[in-house]
């Protein structure tokens, strides 16, 4: 069997396929490369006008889901869509339920400024006007009229009382008393007793009649007092109208296309008269609350709270990185004054849903699900198409404080959640409402096909990253090296990785080394330096394990031949850095009933997939050597020097070769290592991490030293397309110091490892005598013959045993 050729080990990016000298000549991509399926899903979701067509973007972190969404939205927004400002103002009739005002984009701040301008003038003008001589004169005149009528009415009663020798006296304010007189002095209790009965009765009769007249007079006084209050109110209203009427009229004219705003102005006009004392009294409490809430504008009653302000008429796009309950749905702040908790409409604060209303809200699914009550609140808002601002304390029923209940904001938003596939499947399985609210799944690809056209597209993607991150431009050789690295990440010669974060990190680090060298372009040498630096930073544990091979602590043979011992290959991962390592697999056989003992499984160090692989190779052995007669050889298998759990079936081919060597007695070449899984028909199946495995054995050969130009690795034939080997391995192959072989069945692997033909069965099922399988067949036949002879001797000694 011939080893693989150099082009089969590494598919280089040919410079003639890249028609540019540097990325400066390329037009950066406006969208993420290779995500056509996800883009179509997003386009469909955004175009659907119906409810429930929100998007769940599925894919592992680093694929550029958020970047793609933002770029797509920037270039495909529906410009016909209208954005709005949202404001809260006081409801003067129901203070606990502030009113919501919807205004065109940019109008909210204008309304706020117009009201502040009006109030700023009224705060100065009202005290001046109501303290002016003209107003005080008119007010005093009203007061005098009332006082004169009061005095005249009371004087009538007093005059009638005097005729009856009774005096009308004022006691407490608003209280009156009728007293019998003795000349100019009121009667005392003693003098009143001295009067005759007739005189006392006369006085009492007079007082009773006078009391009726007094009550009638007091009722008139009360009516006149109300009349005075109404006239004073009318005077105040007339005076206020003179000050503010024309300004409020001008505001109504300016906002006449917004009936809710006009109604608010009319309500302010009416409320100013009712709450004139706000402007006339020095209200320390209101001032203190204003300072505590960081808003010194006065009076608070007439403020406009702009909770959402859109500077332009563009469709809002909001990315919420911290989707807590309050950050999403808004909240109502409180201030404390003299130990009392206070709140009002001016302390309502908007959440991300408010800011994204009329547009798009993007957030991470896992972060959102980690926050208590957020997922239920979000579903409730999407179903009701309304954003209700409820404090989390009230949701938990932990607070009995008085709060306000702002009117709900009508909700019209497209939601985009980013998450992995596991989270998406959990939501699909456990939340029946999820599928109703997120009807579109944008499934992001991990890889794209590699062709001449796609390589040019990938180069444009690199150019867009360079421009976005303000990096040095890349030469065509640097781009070629990045494309080759991308194919290595995709573990396929004809695929390119779409993990944008890794590519961006590589370009940033390449830019660093280029600037360190004073270069004006990122060259392939700088990319190589960045890759080597990243590998060195992450390889401490790998180097420790390699040291144990170098000093002999880990037993590995790379020369000679040994019966029942095979070099298997495995991959270890340490925090994102993967590397290959040699593992010695050994097999021993002995007389028995044909059972294969998997030591890893028996001591509970083998995983389910590993155990399955051992069972499959057992069935292969049985199907080849125990079809008609039982096998009288049992065997045991183990990974030597393994002190942790083993899983995966990629060593099952190595284990089978170790068993075949042990059963046949033919030694295994130690200068070769093998990886691959096997099925019941002896076909070799592809495995993962093939590059790291081959490189791991090459490193082991280098560590063990010794010149041996026969060293190499055996991989499944279906894994050849996955080979993108390190330059050191490729160089060693070019210099014939190392070789990589591909096998598609057990027979080819056995022929290579045992350096003897495996053998092919004839029509009777017999293998050639000098072949590996033939030797096994002969050995088993001898054991069966020996077994038959033993049974025959037993029968002769004691025929009754049957």
Listed in sequence order, the DSSP H helices in 551-681 are: 599-602, 608-625, 652-664
Instruction: State yes or no: is 619 an active-site residue.
Output: no
Q: Which of 582, 618, 650, 661 is catalytic?
A: 650
Cβ–Cβ < 8 Å for 217, 154: yes
Report the interhelical angle of 476-490 vs 452-468 (nearest 10°).
110
Question: Rounded to a whole number, what is the distance in angstroms from the first to the last CA of the chain?
Answer: 53
Report the interhelical angle of 476-490 vs 524-538 (nearest 10°).
40
**Which tokens go with 665?**
């007695």
Cβ–Cβ < 8 Å for 389, 343: no
Spatial separation of the C-alpha atoms in residues 389 and 326, rounded to whole Å = 9
CB count within 10 Å of CB 59 equals: 23
Contacts of 391 (CB under 8 A, 6+ apart): 331, 332, 399, 403
Spatial separation of the C-alpha atoms in residues 272 and 287, rounded to whole Å = 19
Q: Which of 65, 107, 112, 693 is catalytic?
A: 693
Instruction: State yes or no: is 693 an active-site residue.
Output: yes
Cβ–Cβ < 8 Å for 718, 653: no
Spatial separation of the C-alpha atoms in residues 690 and 648, rounded to whole Å = 14
Spatial separation of the C-alpha atoms in residues 551 and 12, rounded to whole Å = 36
Task: Identify which of 531, 449, 460, 453 has the alpha carbon closest to the alpha carbon of residue 496.
Answer: 449
**Cα dihedral: 140, 141, 146, 150 (round 10):** 90
Cis preceding linkage at 299, omega within 30: yes
For the chain, what percentages of helix, strand and coil (3-state, to nearest 5) are there? 50, 15, 30
Cβ–Cβ < 8 Å for 375, 423: no
Cβ–Cβ < 8 Å for 661, 754: yes
Task: Identify which of 539, 542, 549 has the alpha carbon closest to the alpha carbon of residue 583.
Answer: 549
Spatial separation of the C-alpha atoms in residues 373 and 396, rounded to whole Å = 10
Spatial separation of the C-alpha atoms in residues 264 and 90, rounded to whole Å = 9
> Rg for the chain (alpha carbons), in Å?
47
Cβ–Cβ < 8 Å for 511, 71: no
Cα separations in angstroms, 590 against 593, 754, 769, 786? 9, 20, 22, 15
Show which residues are catalytic.
650, 693
């Amino acid at each position: 069997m011939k080893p693989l050729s150099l082009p089969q080990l590494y598919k280089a990016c040919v410079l003639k396929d890249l028609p540019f000298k540097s990325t400066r000549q390329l037009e950066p991509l406006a969208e993420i490369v290779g995500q056509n399926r996800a883009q179509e899903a997003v386009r469909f979701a955004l175009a659907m006008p119906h409810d429930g067509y929100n998007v769940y973007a599925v894919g592992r972190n680093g694929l550029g889901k958020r970047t793609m969404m933002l770029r797509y939205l920037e270039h495909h927004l529906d410009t016909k869509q209208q954005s709005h400002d949202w404001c809260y103002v006081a409801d003067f009739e129901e203070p606990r339920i502030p009113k919501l005002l919807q205004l065109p984009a940019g109008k909210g701040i204008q309304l706020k400024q117009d009201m502040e301008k009006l109030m700023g003038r009224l705060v100065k003008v009202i005290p001046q006007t109501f303290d002016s001589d003209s107003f005080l004169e008119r007010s005093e005149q009203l007061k005098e009229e009332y006082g004169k009528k009061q005095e005249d009415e009371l004087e009538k009663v007093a005059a009638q009382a005097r005729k009856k020798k009774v005096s009308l006296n004022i006691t407490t304010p608003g209280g009156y008393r009728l007293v019998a007189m003795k000349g100019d002095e009121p009667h005392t209790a003693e003098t009143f007793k001295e009067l005759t009965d007739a005189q006392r009765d006369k006085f009492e009769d007079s007082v009773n009649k006078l009391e009726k007249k007094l009550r009638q007079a007091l009722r008139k006084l009360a009516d006149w007092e109300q009349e005075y209050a109404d006239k004073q109110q009318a005077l105040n209203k007339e005076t206020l109208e003179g000050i503010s009427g024309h300004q409020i009229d001008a505001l109504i004219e300016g906002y006449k296309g917004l009936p809710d705003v006009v109604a608010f102005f009319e309500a302010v006009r009416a409320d100013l008269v009712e709450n004139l004392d706000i402007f006339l009294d020095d209200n320390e409490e209101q001032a203190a609350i204003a300072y505590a809430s960081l808003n010194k504008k006065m009076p608070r009653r007439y403020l406009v709270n702009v909770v959402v302000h859109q500077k332009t008429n563009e469709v809002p796009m909001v990315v919420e990185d911290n989707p807590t309950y309050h950050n999403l749905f808004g909240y109502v702040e409180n201030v404390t004054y003299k130990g009392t908790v206070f709140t009002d409409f001016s302390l309502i604060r908007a959440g991300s849903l408010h800011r994204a209303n009329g547009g798009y809200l993007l957030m991470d699914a896992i972060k959102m699900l980690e926050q208590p009550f957020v997922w239920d609140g979000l579903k409730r808002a999407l179903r009701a198409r309304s954003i209700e601002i409820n404090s989390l304390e009230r949701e938990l029923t932990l607070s009995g404080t008085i709060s306000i209940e702002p009117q709900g904001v009508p909700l019209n938003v497209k939601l985009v959640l980013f998450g992995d596939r596991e989270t998406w499947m959990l939501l699909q399985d456990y939340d029946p409402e999820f599928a109703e609210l997120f009807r579109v799944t944008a499934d992001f690809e991990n890889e794209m096909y590699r062709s001449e056209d796609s390589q040019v597209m990938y180069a444009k993607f690199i150019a867009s990253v360079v421009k976005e991150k303000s990096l040095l431009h890349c030469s065509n050789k640097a781009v070629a090296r990045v494309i080759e690295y991308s194919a290595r990440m995709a573990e396929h010669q004809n695929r390119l990785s779409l993990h944008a974060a890794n590519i961006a990190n590589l370009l940033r680090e390449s830019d660093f080394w280029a600037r360190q060298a004073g270069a004006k372009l990122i060259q392939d040498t700088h990319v190589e330096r960045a890759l080597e630096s990243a590998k060195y930073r992450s390889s401490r544990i790998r180097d420790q394990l390699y040291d144990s091979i170098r000093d002999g602590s880990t037993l590995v043979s790379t020369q000679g031949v040994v019966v029942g011992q095979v070099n298997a290959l495995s991959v270890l991962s340490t925090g994102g850095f993967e590397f290959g390592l040699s593992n010695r697999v050994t097999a021993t056989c002995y007389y028995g009933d044909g059972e294969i003992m998997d030591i890893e499984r028996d001591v509970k160090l083998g995983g389910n997939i590993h155990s399955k692989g051992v069972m499959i190779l057992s069935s292969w052995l049985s199907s080849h050597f125990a079809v008609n007669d039982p096998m009288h050889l049992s065997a045991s298998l183990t990974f030597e020097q393994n002190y942790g759990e083993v899983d995966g079936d990629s060593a099952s081919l190595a284990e089978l070769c170790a068993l075949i060597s042990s059963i046949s007695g033919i030694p295994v070449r130690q200068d070769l290592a093998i990886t691959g899984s096997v099925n019941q028909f002896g076909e070799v199946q592809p495995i993962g991490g093939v590059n790291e495995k081959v490189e791991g054995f090459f490193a082991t050969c280098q560590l063990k030293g010794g010149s041996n130009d026969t060293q190499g690795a055996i991989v499944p034939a279906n894994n050849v397309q996955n080979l993108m080997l390190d330059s050191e391995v490729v160089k060693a192959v070019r210099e014939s110091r190392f070789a990589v072989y591909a096998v598609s069945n057990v027979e080819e692997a056995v022929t290579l490892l045992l350096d003897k033909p495996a053998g092919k069965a004839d029509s009777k099922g017999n293998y050639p005598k000098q072949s590996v399988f033939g030797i096994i067949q002969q050995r088993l036949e001898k054991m069966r013959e020996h077994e038959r002879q033993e049974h025959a001797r037993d029968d002769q000694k004691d025929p009754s045993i049957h």
